[in-house]
Amino acid sequence: MSRKTIIHLLITLAAILLYVPFLGSFHLFDWDEINFAEGAREMLTTGDWGRVQIAFEPFWEKPPLFIWMQAISMKLFGINEFAARFPNAVAGIISLNVFYHIGRKHVGHFFGLFFALAYAGSLAPGLYFKTGIIDPVFNLFIFLAVYQWFMAELEIMNSNNARIHYLLFGIFAGLAVLTKGPVALLIVGILAVIRLVQNGRNAWPGQLNLLVAFFAFTFTIGLWLGIETYHRGTWFLAEFFRYQIVLLQGQIEWHNQPWYYHLVVLFFLCTPAVIFAFPYLFRNPERATGNSALLFSYMRGLFWTVLIIFSIVTTKIIHYSSLCWIPLAFMAAYALYGAFTNRISISRWLSIPLLLSLLPLAVFFAVAPYLLTAENRDVLLAPLLKNDPFALRLLTKGDLWSGFEGIPALLFLIFAVVWIFRFAMGWTKQAAPLFIAVLIFAQCIYIFILPKAEKQLQGEVIGAIERESIENQLFEAWHYKTYAILFYGKVSPETMKGPWSEGAKQAFPNETAPNYTARKHWLMAKPTNLPVKIITRCDYKVDTDFYQSFRKIAEPGPYIIWERLKP
């Protein structure tokens, strides 16, 4: 067995140990995790694998590929949290192997190892493969598409046939579109234009290769788009693309953030990779030549393309810049590799941004559990939150925290301070121990912090939803958005049908799920033979008419459950 095979087996085993355990140890987080898992649950419930549905109505915000993966996982493991997150764990196992393979092939064996370590050993990248959101799979497909374009340019430079790489590029780009939508084309298209400007002679694929890439792309997306259009017409696709335009225009108010939003996100969440990548964000390393220099140009181009696109777009979510993590890990790997092989010396000035990024995170995770203990929160937190009743009850109800949950963060804080001091003094040149420490720190957050944080933020309300969502009863949320009612309430298609369905589209033409919205309004006042219960936030301002129609029956956390009085 070759060394390469042994290393891949070891990386696979390590990735399994990192990304598979504890996937089902706490509820899915509202909104994104529950949203996608609910789409998969409804796919299984209805047997309709052609389109994504939410509340058993067409959901055009996302294409179906990731939802298909979750649905298959739920077929294997049941409809639960583990199954919803398992596809990303598989993506993590594949990704670390891909990073090692590419790094080893174009730079060297140890560079491949450092590439995988720099990604897995940065804070948010170390956690994202343990979530149930779309982006880890999307990022992998985009990266593979970009890599195939790089390989094609490399083959052309060496006067070889690059057709297979354009074929694979079209397939991976198509899979990326099927995962998250046309933003994939925007990213790879802009990067291709950049390469044409920089090296038009070798980056231009030629007409035949372009046709090959186009055919592979259209065939891949046609496996869904073509069949969907043939059977159901263009309405669903038109709504899907209209929503993508809304996202680009920033018309979703609660997602609008300032232009520097992703700079802050990357600085704190992709640490320490982002810090070690600083010197190479604008230039190639001096010792990078040949294949590695070209690959550096691609990684830097991918980083700036993603960062600029999502900094210009006013709709900003943390996930949007997560694709930057891969090129940042690649560039950071060169610093680790250079120090390990004594080819370069990492600037000791990097100790300053390392302190600024790592220490606030470590202090936060060390102190937060202590502040949330029953003995401290009423004294320390309550005065700060007195003007926000929802946040006050959210953080001061329950007795979950002992304060000891912050010990791993405290140990990491001590290690980070000692390592950064030694690094600043020139007593150590090896950065790998810091990445390993961050990797362990991230896993401790997932094991010790996130389960209790989930219980604090939504545990009581999800428990109430599971208890109250019984047959022969109508249960719904009012005046706040949640997908937990659908997923944890195990809502069936039959409960979504009723007298409210008639004229729902006309009454609520701008709603994503008009029938679901009509149902909510019907339950507030219209006649029904079944018991009706609704859940609101504690800060929902009720009026006299509401009190005459509903009575309070429970208060799970910062929420209130109301039972409708019979007429």
Q: Which of 85, 119, 86, 90 is nearest to 102 (CA)?
A: 119
Which residues sit opposite 534 in a β-bridge?
Answer: 476, 562
Tokens of 545: 């008419």
| Ordered mean pLDDT values, 10 residues apiece, the chain (567 residues) | 90 96 92 93 92 87 92 96 97 97 93 96 93 95 96 89 94 95 89 85 83 94 83 73 66 65 93 94 75 89 93 80 96 92 87 95 94 84 82 83 92 96 88 95 95 91 86 83 90 84 80 83 81 88 83 88 83
Residues 561 and 73: their CA atoms lie apart, in Å, by 33
Look at the block and give the residue holding tokens 């994104």.
32
Rounded Cα distance, 504 and 517, in Å: 8
Neighbour-count burial for 212-225, b at 16+ CB within 10 Å, e otherwise: bbeebbeebbeebb
Question: 122: closest CA among 3, 221, 303, 268?
Answer: 268
Which residue in the block uniquely carries the two structure tokens 């006067």? 159
| pLDDT value of residue 247 | 62
Do the Cβ atoms of 66 and 134 come closer than 8 Å? Answer: yes
Cβ-contact 124, 270 below 8 angstroms: yes
> Residue 262: helix, strand or coil by DSSP?
helix
Question: CB 358: neighbour CB atoms within 10 A?
Answer: 26
pLDDT score recorded for residue 342: 85
User: Whole-angstrom Cα distance, residue 29 to residue 457?
Assistant: 9
Helices (H) then strands (E): counts for the chain: 27, 6
The Cα–Cα gap between 144 and 187 comes to: 13
Q: Residue 246: its pLDDT value, please?
A: 66
Report the predicted TM-score, pTM, of the whole model to 2 decimal places. Answer: 0.93
Token readout for 491 is 């809502």
pLDDT of residue 182: 85
